[in-house]
Structure 1
Amino acid sequence: MALFSKPIVVHNTCYEIGHGWTPYCVQASLDVSKIVFQEAFKLYGSLYLLAAILRKRGKSYFVKRLLPETLQSSIFLSVNGTLFLTFFCLWRKLAGCYNFYNAFICGIPACTMSLLIERKDRKILGGFYCINSAFLSAYCGAFIAILMERKSRRGLLAVYLTNLALETGYRMAKYRGLVKPVPHGEVLLFSIASAVYFYFFRRESGLPQSTISSLQYIVGSSESPQSATSPGHSSNNNEEPQRPRTGVAVLDKMVARLEAGPRHRLCQHRNGCVLYVLKGCYRLFGMGYAIQAGVKLLSALTRLHKQPRLLFDALFNKDNFRLGAFLGSFSALFRLVNCVLRWVRNRDSSFHGLLSGFVAGWSMLWYKSTTIALYTATKMAEMLYVKGIHAGYLPYIKCADILIYSVSTAVAFHAAVLEPHTLRPAYWKFLVRVTHGKFCHINRRLLDVFGTNSSLMYPDYWPTYDPRFTSIKPPTS
């Protein structure tokens, strides 16, 4: 193969490629460490504070745990970013060059081989000795950093980075023309994941209680067998409150008719099936609309005094309606299909959860999101794997969350260096934010030889180098 006989390599220094703002590797790592820690502390501080308020944590949490947890997560993120650059310089110095493909072909064994072989023998190995600095640097940095984070957060981070890596891999393949987009592919994936989740939701002890509580919040507790068999539960005692009087006689009569409407004997909800479906729709629609409007409003707060119109734009943005329609129709379709199946089949079963979950998943047509679809699918895969372990069909892999996080982070950082246009835009903005733009300072014009259009996002960028340390000039067009 040509890859091994004559690999494409770049012999520029790590100063010329990775940290053009300073020629000193140690200084570059210290700069990144300071910046990332500052941004991480602000990020995690506000995030953990908001989460504590929403969860109504006690005073002892704010006094004893909030600051230590914020510091621990901030150190984790800071170490991750710092060690990435540190290993980037280290691998470059050890290998003597920069190569694109070998991390994906040889992985960690290639790294081990490069450290054991003398410099004079490297030509014999061809493609093996030129390590992909981005992939391996990110892997080593992420592996060490995740050990500093709380164990309770490692699984969440692994799931998030896994779906990011999967999306990045798909974007890479699509950009290369290796795959063709499937129409509504993210919606189909979300529907399949929803079907599996709600199949187990309708089974006794099919899901952890925390997951059941989350799903009950979305679709109501009436469809959960746990609530149907709990002590004191009856068709007149579930999650639906007494309806308030509106003060409008016509509307009150209409609601009263719907309340007294037909309800199948196996339905656990108190009111008629039609009102049951409608309540699920408007409750989740309002919640979705409020969430999206709140996010838009928070992002516009710093500019409101200069642009008051942003308040109107935030409250009446079309994305608010789309998220509300997505959540509202999801709940309504799930309830509707379950009720219809009970009327048609005159029985209730966990199979109804499978079908209703799949149908409800298509509500994502209102609010297409690859991120939500991949996250749901990844959590589904995790759930099935755990069930396979408990059933004795699959092996238990110790520290799987650490390994998965490290590999997934390596894939994402590889893309961030060599082809940032394939990264999820939100994640790229995050990387730029937490490094104060240092990720943009990589000289990707030197990496264009790999054929991935590395400089596509920054075609004209060229660092201002210190002539005492390099004499390279921008390539002529």
Structure 2
Amino acid sequence: MASFCAILIEKATRRRPLALYLANLGSETAYRQLANHGYLPRFNRGECVPLIAGIVLIMYLYSSNRLPQGLVKVLKTCAGVDTKATHLNLKNAPKEFKKMLQQLREKFGKSDECVHDHSCTTNCTMNRIGVTNKMVKNMLSGGIAGLSMVAFPNVTIAMYVLWKAIEVLYCDLYNRGYIPYIPYGDIILYTISTGYVLWMAALEPQAVRSGYREFLMGLTGGRLALFNRHLIDSFGYKSSLIYPQSFQPDPLHSTINPMFYRPLREM
């Protein structure tokens, strides 16, 4: 209810970005919780999966001319799509990296269809193996490029790209009449996602992204840690794993569980 009231006082233009961010965080928290309890497997460098899915979906929409112009500009700037400019600035790059890149450029020249100054691995490989369909080429090369997160893992970026792609796809399908409009969808999404994340912050904080836990600690003046989580450890959530602190409530203003001070046989 607090999340619902909070989103109502936000500017209407900020509601969708906030809902998208909390949906991002909520889905990541849900995965961590399910993995903590053994319902889903854990993967090394699992950030690649949502990133690849998001990039493939974005490249599909781009190839179909269904990507909003704002995102088209971002895509062109980040990936150098349809431009002859070289976007990789090597001025401050390590010498070893420059040497490796030079060797790659010498051994693997660019294909005839390449528009860059040098070979672009996201496209030239597809040209060499005979992939001529532009949509397939863009989707495959985008998906392969998503493997770069193996070297630079960042779950925040990966989840943002995935949810941004889902948002764009939803808007596209709605504009084309395939799915209905959900009234107050951004408010509903924000309310459910935020409520779930805050619930997990109290019940199973290890399932919440560490950066967001630190944000909540600062926001609450450290009170996020002031739950007697050891009282619910027996339910299997390992609630006190990160915050083992406990406090004694004032008996004048609280009811103490009789199990803590009376023998079981007397109850």
TM-score (norm 1): 0.47
TM-aligned CA deviation for residue 179 of structure 1: 1.9
| Structure 2 counterpart of 1:433 | 218
Give 1:415's match in structure 2, choosing from 200, 203, 215: 200
User: Counterpart of 1:127?
Assistant: none
Equivalent residue, structure 2, for 1:338: 123
Give yes or no for contact 1:196–1:357 (8 Å, CA) kept in 2: no
Which of residues 202, 218, 236 is equivalent to 2:78? 218
Q: Give the drift of 1:461.
A: 1.6
1:405 — aligned with what?
A: 190
Tell me the equivalent position of 1:332: none
Structure 2 residue ranges without an equivalent (≥5): 90-101, 262-267
Distance 1:146 1:471 in 2: 34
User: Structure 1: which amino acid aligns with 2:136?
Assistant: F
Alignment counterpart, residue 153 of structure 2, candidates 368, 374, 394: 368
Change (3 A) 1:185 1:467: closer
1:267 aligns with 2:129: no
- Asked whether the 8 Å contact 1:199–1:357 carries over to 2, the reply is no
The 5 A counterparts of 1:92-107 are none
Please tell me whether residue 142 in structure 1 is matched to residue 3 in structure 2.
yes
Q: Supply the distance in 1 between the matched residues of 2:75 and 2:67 (Cα, whole angstroms).
A: 10
**Bigger-Rg structure (1/2):** 1
Per the alignment, residue 392 of structure 1 pairs with 177
Aligned residue for 1:177, secondary structure, equals: coil
Matched residues in 2 for 1:268 and 1:445: separation?
A: 61
- RCO higher in 1 or 2 (8 Å CA, sep ≥ 6)? 2
How far residue 471 of structure 1 moved from its aligned partner, in angstroms, is 6.6
Q: Distance in 1 between matches of 2:4 and 2:245?
A: 34
CA distance in 2 between counterparts of 1:441 and 1:337 reads 50
Structure 1's unaligned 5+ residue stretches are: 1-139, 224-237, 244-254, 278-334
2:252 is aligned to 468
- The CA distance in 2 between the partners of 1:210 and 1:187, in whole Å, is 24
- Mapped to 1, the partners of 2:222 and 2:44 lie a distance apart of 35
Residue 209, structure 1, aligned to residue 55, structure 2: no
Answering whether residue 229 of structure 2 is matched by residue 444 of structure 1, we say yes
Q: 1:112 corresponds to which residue?
A: none
Spell out structure 1 runs of 4+ moving beyond 4 A.
Answer: 261-265, 473-476
TM-score by length of 2: 0.80
Distance between the aligned counterparts of 2:131 and 2:152, measured in 1? 34
Q: Could you say what the CA RMSD is over the residues aligned between the two structures, in angstroms? A: 2.9
Q: 1:390 to 1:442 in 2, by over 3 A?
A: same
Matched-pair contact (CA < 8 Å) for 2:226–2:245: no
Query: Does residue 189 in structure 1 map to residue 74 in structure 2?
Result: no
8 Å contact kept, 2:126–2:137: yes
1:165 to 26, 30, 45: 26
Richer in helix (by share): 1
SS for the counterpart of 2:85 is coil
Tell me the distance in 1 between the aligned counterparts of 2:55 and 2:221. 38
What is the CA-CA distance between 1:368 and the residue it aligns to?
A: 2.0
